[in-house]
Amino acid sequence: MDKHDFVIRFAGEGGQGLVTSADALARAAAHAGYFVQTHATYPSQIMGGPASSQVRISTTPVLSSGDGVDVLVALNQYAYDHHNEDLNPGGVTVYNAEEYDLPEGGHYFGIKADELAKSTGNARAANMVTIGAVTKLIDFNPEEIDEFIRQRFTRGREGDDEIIEANIKAVRLGAEVADSAGFNVGQLESATPPDYSQIIITGNAAIAMGSTAAGCDFYVGYPISPATTVLVWMENNLWGEGRFVHQVASEIEAINATLGAGFAGKKAMTATAGPGFSLMSEGLGLAWMAEIPMVVVNVQRGGPATGLPTKSEQSDLYTCMHPAHGDIKMPVLAPGSIEECFWAAVLAQNWAERYQGPVILMTEFGLAERGENIRRPDLSKVSQECRTTVSEGDTGKRYDSWDGSTPLPGMPIPGGPGAYVANGSEHDEIGDTTHLPRHHVRLMERRFKKLDLLKDSPYEIENADADCIIMPWGSSKGPAREAYDRLREEGANIGWLYSLALHPLPEEVLAVLKSGKKIIVPELNYLGQWSALLRMEGFNAESITQYTGLPFRPADLVTRIRERIGAGVTA
Amino acid sequence: MSKRNPEYDFAWCPGCGDFGVRRALQVALEGYSAEHEEPQANNVIIAGIGCSGNIVHLVEGEQPFGIHGIHGRTLPISFGVKQGNSDLNTVVVAGDGDFLSIGAEHLGPAANRNVDVTAVVMDNGVYGLTKGQSSPTTAFGKITASTPLGKIENPVSPLKLYMSIGVTFIASYYSSKPRVLAKLIQEAMNHKGFSIVHVQSPCTTYNDTYDLLKGKPKEGVKGLAYEIPEDHDPTSVEDANDLLSRPGIPLGVIFKQERKTFRDRYEELRERSPKRTNDELLDSYLLQM
């Protein structure tokens, strides 16, 4: 049976090379022209602990990590017990026969990967034995794997040839075991490589890359899961004249140093996760008050407190939009795919410069570490906006009143004209502290009016005439889109609304919300945070929530949306 | 009330030590700018929260750039300003509460980095703006608004603290002689590395220590403050530690050490750093067949 879509999961414990196996299979499939998406879940420890890593391979763009698993590779009994239930009908488990045994007669077979690897002369090729078995099960062209192995292990060293030969042999041995077991979960349809240039990248790397392309030239950060890889990327790459990168002593240092650099004229950024973001609250308030351009990335994990450091949750929305005390509402961008991570990072930098203030870019564990092949972003399409500054002879003051009818006055940069005090206390035109009501009123209005400059974010609207509209945000976009497509196929009368920005919303998105249609928000939190914020604005929104630390499965969403729209379904 | 901005409505209490520090800072900034032929706009004052922080609005003459930020975070902000533009003369002004209590965690990193920033700390041994609570430098047993039965903790010894964490320029003075203090502040600005000028700046309302510092010469009472002896060698760690083991408040430069600044080391790394264009970076993710 031809199938266009397979999910292959490797489960075991941390340190067993699960991520490497899924990644290798993903790369080989991407090379062959398929669309791939990896997804990993692991405990917050370096070695050991239950972990899994999977890859979804498809002939069409992969929107989510899928529903169930077609091939499960279970390296220990615990992994088998906990992942077996995710097997799709007809799915097969490959179990580690060196570790445990299963009674005869099930939809599984054992493999002794270490032993077979040793027989090739390369004990480190065990994961290739497993990959060989998997590829046989889905009838994946073995020549593609061979080609992948040749590329990966051709490193210009002596012994490359032997390593390549052993790995190819390992794949063959694994395939033979699978073949003799007699299972097949279907045949993967052949794929045609797209005619455009592709990259394979994670969400965090896409954010670092996008920010850099947009001109970010100052980055400080502090290690925290799952945002650490942004720091590591920057430490490796954000060098060169006029650029600065450094690991500082805490998130409090990070936010305040970012602010200092933004004040001094840099395009400054920091990235963190929930706990660090909480520590940054006061500094963000200062940036809002003193109107300092900067970008803060919050790669969400499960919360509160230490929460679930290596799981996916969308529970920081309230805190991203209203991070600090006082009247504040931050501009928030929340990308829904790896490609959007890149472009949202560009937009975040440009927004910060344009409106002279802090911008929050919120992503999630589910995007941060997952790999995906995407179109290589066209750098010639990356715009680099720069804040307007002041020139000698300008008569305006830093904190003049502003009602939006003229361009936003320029921001003086230290060393140049227009000296002022960037003040976190309410202030007058040059930044001196004042408690006079008229200054608090005029600057409060200025700070909020500036948000009108940020109405140009991308959005998607489909079937807005339907009675009921699905509006996911962030990484729930992918599974929600799959569910939406399936429901539409069934004939459900539903619409689609998606906005990269959660604040401020583009006018076109607001128009749909204002129509009074029922808005259903699938989101990964307990409180239903986005629908609550929408209801606060008077819109007719309700949530479908999940708080397992895992992403939505499209099939679950189909069922739950069906329940909500009730009579609206005509299938 | 500031001459530059008559509408500005903050005022220190009569006799506040911060008046003297303001005068000294102003003279030091002018002196530094003249010495290096730089405009006033190259000076950035980063102020903490408390009575002392208002100095950023009260310095007179041509206005420098300033940040009047949040409580305790002057050093991290100054790090960002200085690394954002290393040509700026970056000066932190903070009180003992801001610098040594809520902001104390930032001292170690600033010293380890030897970041080229000058901190002028105004120590009045009390939280003045909130009306007289105990501060890190308040003496043990002292009765304040928040220690009605006497302060239970030992006070911090700021100069010993700075010495122990490797601050490369440490000076101590009081607010009563602004012209001399100005010279010390300017010397600190000229120091390549992290410099701290710790100033006794009494609070006439909640902790008036003028007599304690200067004594009452007419009545034969000696003050805590004393001029550092001429034979003190500030480049000697031994001399500095020896000085700090004595009772009293030394007046002058306690310690001064030449060490590479954060920026010096950073530029060395930059020499060795990878140089890849955005296109090359993106191409490192290319799917190759």
Asked whether the beta carbons of A458 and A381 are under 8 A apart, the reply is no
- DSSP state for residue B133 in the 8-state scheme: E
CATH number of the domain residue A321 falls in? 3.40.50.970
pLDDT for A338: 97
Which amino acid, one-letter code, is at B98? Answer: D
Contacts of B282 in chain A (CB under 8 A): 199, 209, 213, 376-377, 379
The answer, for A175 touching chain B at a CB cutoff of 8 Å, is no
Confidence band of B8 (pLDDT split at 50, 70, 90): confident
Cβ–Cβ of B273/A239 closer than 8 Å? yes
Work out the pLDDT band at A54, boundaries 50, 70, 90.
very high
Mean pLDDT for B74-92 is: 98
Contact at CB, A201 and B279, closer than 8 angstroms: no
Which ranges of chain B would DSSP assign to H, the alpha helix?
A: 17-36, 55-58, 74-84, 96-97, 107-113, 158-165, 178-190, 210-214, 237-244, 262-272, 278-283
Between positions 434 and 473 of A, the ones with CB within 8 A of B are 434-436
Among A488, A486, A560, A565, which residue's Cα sits nearest to residue A523? A560
Closest chain B CA to residue A420:
B65
**CB-count exposure of residue B94 (10 Å: 0-12, 13-18, 19+):** buried
Quick one: A392 and A372 in the same domain?
A: no
Q: Work out the minimum CA distance from A538 to partner chain B, whole angstroms.
A: 35
Same domain, A411 and A500: no
In this prediction the pTM is 0.96
Report the relative pairing of strands B65-68 and A494-499 from DSSP bridges. unpaired
Do A207 and A149 lie in a common domain? no
Selected residue with higher pLDDT from B4 and A445: A445
Decide if A417 and B41 are in contact by the 8 Å CB cutoff: yes
- What mean pLDDT do residues A98-110 have? 94
Residues A117-156, buried b or exposed e (16+ Cβ, 10 A)?
A: bebbebeebbbbbbbbbbbbbbbbeeebbbebbeeebeee
As a whole-number percent, the residues of chain B with pLDDT over 70 amount to 99
Q: What angle do CA B213, B218, B222 make, to 5 degrees?
A: 35
Residues A478 and A405 in one domain: no
Q: What is the pLDDT of residue A16?
A: 84
A137 with A267, same domain: the answer is no
**pLDDT recorded at residue A412:** 98
SS3 content of chain B, % helix, strand, coil (to 5): 40, 20, 40
For residues B86 and B116, the answer to whether their CB atoms sit within 8 Å is: yes
Residue B92: strand pairing partners:
B46, B119
Instruction: Say yes or no to pLDDT of B137 above 60.
Output: yes
Q: Both ends of chain B: CA-CA distance in Å?
A: 72
A201: chain B residues, CB-CB within 8 Å = 285
CATH label of the domain that carries residue A81: 3.40.920.10
Cβ distance A569 to A492 under 8 Å? yes
Q: Please name the residue of chain A whose CA is at the shortest distance from the CA of residue B108.
A: A249
Query: Would you say B192 and B261 are in contact if contact means Cβ atoms under 8 Å apart?
Result: yes
Give tens-digit pLDDT for B185-212.
999 999 999 999 999 999 999 999 999 9
Residue A201 to residue B285, Cβ atoms within 8 A = yes
Average pLDDT of the residues of chain A = 95
Question: Which residues from A are below 8 Å from B83, CB to CB?
Answer: 218, 244, 246, 257, 260-261
- Joined together, the tokens standing for residue B76 give 């991290």
pLDDT of residue A366: 92
**Residue A151: band (very low, low, confident or very high) from pLDDT cuts 50, 70, 90:** confident
Residue A182 to residue A412: CA distance in whole angstroms: 73
**Phi, then psi, of A377 in degrees rounded to 5:** -55, 140
Q: Do A318 and A443 sit in the same domain of this protein?
A: no
B79, pLDDT greater than 70: yes
- The residue type of B241 is N
Q: Mean pLDDT throughout A468-480? A: 98
The CATH architecture of the domain made up of B17-283 is: 3-Layer(aba) Sandwich (3.40)
pLDDT band at A321 (very low <50, low <70, confident <90, very high): very high
Q: What is the mean pLDDT of residues A201-215?
A: 98
Half-sphere exposure for A138 (CA within 13 Å, toward CB): 28
Predicted pLDDT of residue A571: 40
Give the dihedral of Cα atoms A389, A395, A396, A397; nearest 10 deg.
Answer: 90
Query: pLDDT digit string (tens) for A10-37?
Result: 999 988 888 889 998 999 999 899 999 9
Tokens for A517? 């249609």
Residues 6+ apart with CB under 8 A from B216: none
- Partners of residue A433 in chain B, C-beta under 8 Å: 8-10, 54, 57, 68
Interface-testing mutation among A152, A199, A253, A282, with chain B (most B C-beta atoms within 10 A): A253
In chain A, which residues have their Cβ closer than 8 Å to the Cβ of B42? Answer: 414-415
Nearest-by-CA chain A residue for B69? A424
List phi, psi (to 5°) of A202: -95, 165
Q: Identify the residue whose tokens are 């290589």.
A: A376
Least confident range of A135-149, A516-530, B87-101, B115-129: A135-149
User: CB-CB: which of A285, A416, A436 is closest to B41?
Assistant: A416
Which residues on chain B are in Cβ contact (under 8 Å) with A37?
A: none
Q: Is the pLDDT of residue B289 over 60?
A: no
Q: Would residue A302 be called left, alpha or beta, if left means φ above 0 and alpha means ψ between -120 and 50 degrees?
A: beta
- pLDDT band of A41, cuts 50, 70, 90: confident
Q: Residue A296 corresponds to which tokens in the numbers above?
A: 């803060």
Q: How far apart are CA A130 and CA A93, in angstroms?
A: 11
Closest chain A C-alpha to B246 CA, distance in angstroms: 33
Condensed to tens digits (0 to 9), the pLDDT of residues B161-184 reads 999 999 999 999 999 999 999 999
In a domain, A106, yes or no: yes
Residues A243, A322 share a domain: yes
A414/B81 CB distance under 8 A? yes
Same domain, A27 and A87: yes
Q: DSSP labels for A169-227?
A: HHHHHHHHHHHHHT----EEPP----SS-EEEEEHHHHHHHHHHHTT--EEEE---TTT
Q: Is residue A129 part of a domain?
A: yes
Sign of the CA dihedral B214, B220, B226, B227?
A: positive
Residue of B nearest to A256 (CA): B77
Residues of chain A positioned with their CB less than 8 A from the CB of B68? 421-425, 431, 433
Structure tokens at B246: 């004595």
Instruction: Using CB atoms within 10 Å of the CB of residue A325, give its burial: 0 to 12 exposed, 13 to 18 middle, 19+ buried.
Output: exposed
Q: How far apart are CA B45 and CA B93, in angstroms?
A: 7
Q: Best residue in B74, B112, B289 to probe A by mutation, most A CBs within 10 Å?
A: B289
The alpha-carbon gap from A453 to the nearest alpha carbon of chain B, in Å, equals 25
Q: How confident is the model at residue A218 (pLDDT cuts 50, 70, 90)?
A: very high
Contact B274, A236 (CB under 8 A): yes
| In a shared domain, residues A7 and A93 | yes
Q: Are residues A166 and A27 in the same domain?
A: yes
Do the domain assignments include residue A340?
yes
Tell me what pLDDT residue A559 has.
97
Print the domain residue range for A349. Answer: 202-377
Asked if A261 lies within 8 A of B80 by C-beta distance, the reply is: yes
Verify that A151 and A23 share a domain, yes or no.
yes
Q: Cβ contact (<8 Å) for A419 and B41?
A: yes
In angstroms, rounded to a whole number, what is the distance separating the alpha carbons of residues B96 and A93?
A: 66
Q: Which residue is closest to B80 within chain A, CA to CA? A: A257
Q: Do A330 and A419 share a domain, yes or no?
A: no
pLDDT above 50: residue B118: yes
Rounded distance between C-alpha atoms, residue B24 and residue A556, angstroms? 70
pLDDT exceeding 90 applies to what percent of chain A? 88
Asked if pLDDT for residue A154 goes beyond 50, the answer is: yes
- Range with the lowest mean pLDDT among A115-129, A334-348, A544-558? A115-129
Is the pLDDT confidence value at B10 over 90?
Answer: no
Judging contacts by C-beta atoms under 8 Å, the chain A residues touching residue B73 are: 252, 256, 282-283
Q: Which of A153, A188, A223 is the last residue of a domain?
A: A188
B201 within 8 A of B21, measured Cβ to Cβ: yes
Given a contact cutoff of 8 angstroms between Cβ atoms, the answer to whether A390 and A416 are in contact is: yes
Could you state, in order of their start, the residue ranges of all structural domains in chain B? 17-283
**Could you tell me if residue A252 is inside a domain?**
yes
Residues of A in contact with B285 (CB under 8 A): 199-201, 205, 209, 376
Is residue A222 a part of any domain in this protein?
A: yes
Number of separate domains in chain A: 4
- Cross-chain Cβ contact B70/A212 below 8 Å: no
Please give the C-alpha separations between residue B162 and each of B49, B121, B158, B242, in angstroms, as whole numbers.
21, 12, 6, 14
pLDDT bracket for residue A165 (50, 70, 90) = very high
Provide the pLDDT for residue A449: 98
Contacts of residue A282 in chain B, CB cutoff 8 Å? Answer: 70, 73
Does A508 reach chain B within 8 Å, measured CB to CB?
no
Give the integer Cα–Cα distance in Å for A482 and B234.
72
**CA of A423, closest CA in chain B: separation in Å?**
5
Nearest C-alpha of chain A: how many angstroms from B220?
44
So what's the pLDDT on residue B5?
83
Question: What number of other Cβ atoms are within 10 A of residue B157's Cβ?
Answer: 13
Does pLDDT of A329 surpass 80? yes
